[in-house]
Structure 1
Amino acid sequence: MKILCVSDQLDPLVYSSAAKEHFKDIDLVLCAGDLPMEYIDYIVSVLNKPTYFVFGNHNLEEFGFYHKQYETNTLNPSIDESLNHAHGASYAGFKVLKEGNLIIAGTSGSLRYNNGLCQYSDGEMFFNLLKMVPKLIYNKIRYGRYVDIFLTHAPPRGIHDKEDRCHTGFKCYLWFLRKFKPAYMVHGHIHLYDLQEKRVTRLDATTVVNAYSRYIIEFGDDA
């Protein structure tokens, strides 16, 4: 399975008339946040492949449609299930979903740095992760594994993140990776101004990928 991962920047190769030809062998698209919904809509329309997205800490004009009851510092995102496939894409924020044989878990947002929308303390994000645990345990019993891909906007603490508060990663993501052992974690949020900068890191059983702009991963046939 070939997966196109995008985040944070409108990639000129994806956002082009030749996208369908360039990405004709793509099976799935993962959008890791800070992208206009119109861009996601374009990707779905052109590639016509299953597409999953989470929100970042910008481009939040439609965040309220997916979280119909929220406060700036919400602990419990309330998701409007009727919008699950708006724009032709599925919202993966604070959910555990299945696409064919692939199990995807996702979270939206970044570490809180200015009390803006879709920002969380590490404790709040940990609480949101805990709410997904029953479904993850069910997956382990039913399918023999908890999750295949963890889709987020922010990175884990100490992996691809920065020291400024806005771009610091979540410590609780490290717990999630070590406990539930996804094959991949796909995140955004960290811009790669130097494309030689490291964007793929291995942590135990998980390959952590920074999806900034565009990145393709190939998932094993046994998933």
Structure 2
Amino acid sequence: MATKVRVPVLFVPGNHGEEWVWEEGRRKRPGGVVNLHGRLFRYRGLLLYGIGGVPRYREGEGQLAPGELFHLALKPFPVAFPRRLLRGHGVDVLLTHAPPPGPTAGEDFAHRGASAFLLFHRLFRPRLHVHGHTPLLGANPERRHRTLLGVEVIHAQGYALVQLP
């Protein structure tokens, strides 16, 4: 996909190691894509930030302790908080693997959502929070909702077409 589109292809790692490819007998990150985990990324006037992984529910890759998630949620503070004071939104888009707690989170322990993301919402007021991880089950699974802080949360499993509010 990265060779077919004229925009950056962005991702955050999950918790199953699926973001790796095997090439020449070695496990490598895919080429031509940008891993946003723990970093700010500017594109055409937008500021994006990513947090990969999930709240720890077992041992293994992509399992993060609460302290790690809160550290990642606070990491963009020096850039994002002053920007929020000036523009109303410290970050335009938050891209995560796990959901925040709420309607797009799962009911089981493994898919409960990361409370560190609620702190991120409070501090930086992203316009959009896009996540995956939770299975879309039931007749009408919740794919979108707006928080009381005005953050639009979108469950993008499979795909989702989005337009910034």
Q: TM-score range by the shorter chain?
A: 0.7 to 0.9
Residues 88/138 of structure 1: CA separation in 2 closer, same or farther (3 Å cut): farther
User: Residue 13 of structure 2 aligns with which residue?
Assistant: 55
Counterpart selection for 2:157 from 184, 189, 212: 212
**Residue-by-residue CA offset, 1:27-82 (whole Å, 9 max, x unaligned):** xxxxxxxxxxxxxxxx212233221110010135649xxxxxxxxxxxxxxxxxxx
Structure-to-structure mapping, 1:103-122, within 5 angstroms: 103-122=47-66
Bigger RCO of structures 1 and 2 (CA < 8 A, at least 6 apart): 1
State whether structure 2 residue 146 is matched by structure 1 residue 146: no
Mapping of 1:134-213 within 5 angstroms?
134-140=78-84, 145-194=89-138, 196-203=140-147, 204-213=149-158
Q: What letter matches 1:202 in structure 2?
A: R
Contact 1:96 1:136 in 2 (8 A): no
CA–CA distance in structure 2, aligned partners of residues 157 and 102 of structure 1:
25
Structure 1, unmatched stretches of 5+, are 1-42, 64-82
Deviations 1:152-205 (A, max 9, x none): 000012331123221110111111112211110000001214462111010022
Would the alpha carbon gap of residues 161 and 145 (structure 1) be closer, same or farther in structure 2, given more than 3 Å must change?
closer
Aligned partners of 1:48 and 1:172: how far apart in 2?
A: 33
Percent identical pairs in the alignment equals: 31
Structure 2 length normalisation: TM-score? 0.84
For 1:136, what is the secondary structure of its paired residue?
Answer: helix
CA distance in 2, matches of 1:218, 1:163: 28
Q: Write the distance in 2 (CA, Å) between the matches of 1:97 and 1:143.
A: 17
Unaligned 5+ residue runs, structure 2?
22-28
The structure in which a higher percent of residues are helix is 1
Deviation by residue 1:62-114 (Cα, 9 ceiling, x = unmatched): 49xxxxxxxxxxxxxxxxxxx8xx62111110111111111101100011111
CA contact under 8 A between 2:81 and 2:124: conserved in structure 1? no
Offset of 1:142 from its aligned partner? 7.0
Q: Which whole-Å deviations, capped at 9, do the CAs of 1:4-45 have from their partners, x for residues lacking one?
A: xxxxxxxxxxxxxxxxxxxxxxxxxxxxxxxxxxxxxxx212
Task: Find the residue that maps to 1:216 and give its secondary structure.
Answer: coil
Q: Which residue of 1 aligns with 2:26?
A: none
Aligned residues: 157
Corresponding letter in the other structure for 1:58: H
